Amino acid sequence: MSGQDAMVEFNVVKLEVDFVRRCVYKTEDHLVSLEKQRLELESSIKDRLELIAGNRHRLTTLRCNVESERMRLSMELKDRLSQLDRLRSR
């Protein structure tokens, strides 16, 4: 193999190494981007779960209040109907 052939072979290998290096960097950038996206999604999920927990607590409290009000109104209605029946009986 002549010196010129060796130089050509060296340059070809150098180009291949540069190509592989660029591919590795591109893949690394993509992985970093995906990792950043994963962290953002995890943060969003955490925030959303906290929001859901707060809403669940508010809705549970509201349901209890509405149920209490319904029971109070039901008792009041029964009392008034009872009074009405007593008045009609006279």
Give the C-alpha separation, 10 to 3, whole Å: 10
Whether the pTM exceeds 0.75: the reply is no
Q: Which residue in this structure is represented by tokens 């109907």?
A: 81
Give the C-alpha separation, 51 to 60, whole Å: 14
Q: Which two tokens stand for residue 53?
A: 């927990």
Mean pLDDT across the stretch 3-20? 93
pLDDT tens digits, one per residue of 46-71? 999 999 999 999 999 999 999 999 99
pLDDT tens digits, one per residue of 29-41? 999 999 999 999 9
Give the C-alpha separation, 69 to 72, whole Å: 5
pLDDT of residue 2: 83
Q: Where are the alpha helices (DSSP H) in the chain?
A: 3-89
